[in-house]
Amino acid sequence: MIALEVTVFLLVAAAGTAVVLTRDPLNQAIVASFYGLVLGIMFFVYQAPDVALSQITVGAVALPLMILLALAKVRALRGGNGEDDDR
């Protein structure tokens, strides 16, 4: 059990660092979504399933979605309709 707890703890640390080290906002939204999922798993492993459910719904779905939509608006404002940056 301890091994699982340590693993998930390290995973959260790694995912959090990855969010900081990702510089492009578009990629960052996806990495942040993964971080939200890992954080939810940690809450679950530490026996807080109520909080884990909230964390997964908000951290892995709602937050990245808002970031993606805001990014889409910003790109539309710049008039940049490049090949790979739609949506």
Partner 1 sequence: MTPTLRRRVFLVAAVAAGALLLWGLTGLPDYGVYAGPYGDVLNQVAVAERKAANVVAAVTFDYRGIDTMGEEFILFAAVIGVAILLRAQRGETEQPPDEDAADRHAPATSNAVRVVGLALVGPVVLFGIYVVTHGHLSPGGGFQGGVVLATAALLVYLSGEYVTLRRVSPEVVGDLAESTGAAGYVGVGLLGVAAGATFLANVLPLGEPGALLSAGTIPVLNLAVGLEVAGGFVLLLSEFLEQTLVIRRPGEVT
Looking at beta carbons only, is 21 or 77 nearer to partner 1? 77
Interaction of residue 76 with partner 1, rule CB under 8 A: yes
Q: Tell me which stretch binds partner 1 (CB under 8 A): 14-22, 31-39, 75-83.
A: 75-83
Q: What are the Cα distances from residue 8, in Å, to 28, 52, 63, 65, 69?
A: 21, 13, 22, 25, 30
Query: Which one among 3, 21, 23, 81 touches partner 1, defined by CB under 8 A?
Result: 81
Applying the rule CB under 8 A, the residues between 32 and 61 that interact with partner 1 are: 49-50, 52-54, 57-58, 61
Task: Show Cβ contacts of residue 81 under 8 Å, excluding neighbours closer than 6 positions.
Answer: 75
**How many angstroms separate the CA atoms of 26 and 33, rounded?**
11
* Tokens 């960052």 belong to residue: 28
Size of the site for partner 1 (CB under 8 A): 22
